[in-house]
Structure 1
Amino acid sequence: MSRLLEVKNLSTEFTRPNGVVYAVNGVSFHVDQGESVGIVGESGSGKSVSVLSVLGLIANNGRVTNGEAIFNGQDLLHLNERQLRAIRGTEIGVIFQDPMTSLNPVKRIGWQIAESMVKHHLCNKREALSRAIDLLAEVGIPDAETRYRNYPFEFSGGMRQRVMIAIALACKPQLLIADEPTTALDMTVQMQVLALLRESARSRNMATLIITHDFGVATNLCSRLIVMYGSKIMEMATVEEFVRRPAHPYSIGLKSSIISIGNRHKKISAIPGNAPVFTTPPEGCPFASRCGFALERCYKEIPPLRTLFPGHEVACHRAEEVMSNVI
């Protein structure tokens, strides 16, 4: 597969009244054409900020201090706002976390789907509205020819998420980014939304980048996972590798926190402590204070992201020992 997006050594910081927060520190990853990649981690790990930095959508008090984000041969970090807008919504589709706040409450659903097609000069208004109805039907909205005239408050949470997917697909993007696509949805609706995303990506040969704190969602939807913690990448591997032999203590903690249906006797283990907020650049492994394998070296020396097996990278000084203890 050819490379679609490649992020290299990305760093982002935010200025606050009480100092600077180093939210992303030297993050590098890639997404190939047609591939489904998940970025997993708890709140504050830097996963959403990493992707929003690439898209030029971070808050006004934030700035990208280093890195590249090569998409189809262009460095997104060096494009102006007009150039980025030409790519966002067309070549890159985005599904944001909360559909109720992402959708305009005073505009009809049909127009919100059609608007990007008109703005990007892909078709006229009549054709765009016809395409919007087709997309609503495709994402499972019943009676689409009537419902496209409705407003967001007339839809349930699951239906609004389907509308967000329709908006993201409207301009036929090469890459679809979904930020916590199943937040606040019940389990049945979650499974329906995940199935819809999977089928949409498969039928279009579209790459997907899923941002989630839910390890179960990522393993169900993605072929490759990136685990982030404390503004850095801890581990990258295929889903099969993660399930079979996770190598970072944090990845193992995430895996242990999943409830297994039908296995009532499995112990659910919480990771002790709290995620750090870096007001100074990290000096050692960001997970060291919560890690049962940490040595003095871990607090002083940042572990590099190194290849453990082909296609499996980990940032841990003691990865081999961690694996042998778990296995």
Structure 2
Amino acid sequence: MKSLGIVGAGQLGVMMILEGRKLNIEFSVIGSDPQAPASRIADKFYHDKEYREFVDHCDIITPEFEHVDRQILEYAEKQGKLFPDTKSLDLKLERHREKLYLRDIGIPVVDFYVAENASAALSMSEKFDESIIKTSKGGYDGKGQFHAKKGDSAELPGDQVYVVEKFIPFDFEASIIVARTKDGRIFFNQPSYNYNQDGILLYNYAPCDDYGMREKASILVEKLNYVGVMGIEFFIKDGKSIVNEFAPRVHNSGHHTLSGSTISQFEQHIRCLLDLPMHEPGLLTHSGIINVLGREIDDSLAGRILSVPGTLLYNYGKKALPRRKVGHVNVTASSNQELLSRLLEVKRIIYPERV
């Protein structure tokens, strides 16, 4: 029996474990909380300080999130067990490094500047009529982002490195899930339309036209010599795709594959890591998801959600905090029109007033 170790114990780890059970794999999880979602269902749980025992026990190590204990990743990489590698993961620790790398390898991104402090960031933002100022460290799901217009006196949280991006009035946002095996074969899921609110994914649905997303995804995973699943987010403007950011792991925008595809992103990731046979994922039906943000999923809410045809509820078992992802709902339908109608019906149930 193969043993797969997951660094981190959140909902992505849970879904990876659930999708891998049918492959008869042992799952170990390392983290700080034995009651975290993935900790509760793993075969073995290790505290962070037990990282050597964790790595030595497992055949392969993979993180469920970029911002995890560095010493675990370094030790696993020295043993030849870490996928994806630290090169891919390190680019995500500081946003400016990710942006510079994408630009350096010829992938289109929005115009941007790197500022060493808050004063420089505000000065650079004046070069654009409208901009998004982002902290280089720690910003995700809309955190650490500030909208500025020329002449504004925006307040930034202290001196640190910032990325100042030109705001573009994009037509919509989209993403693609790409998988690359150890021998360099690349597979794509159907791209999805994404609807983000205040920088966090609210819902998405597939299929979506390509707009050049596959080509850009191929360049990125090839240049990184990447192994596993990656989620890449795009702005779509005038029929062309511009990379916003990538995630070196399974991704929220790929959860629709749990119900709508021949193979989920989680099983794809596992197969890539463990050298199991892979094939091009097929879309079985129109599918999407809606995130449950910041509210408890009690029996009443669960019942009302599941009364909508084509729904499947994932409750992460996390405490409800503002804007926190505590679950998601998979939704399937026979057409995009029917799918969007069902997604919006579920949205009204979860958020009767506002998100």
Q: Which has the higher helix share?
A: 1
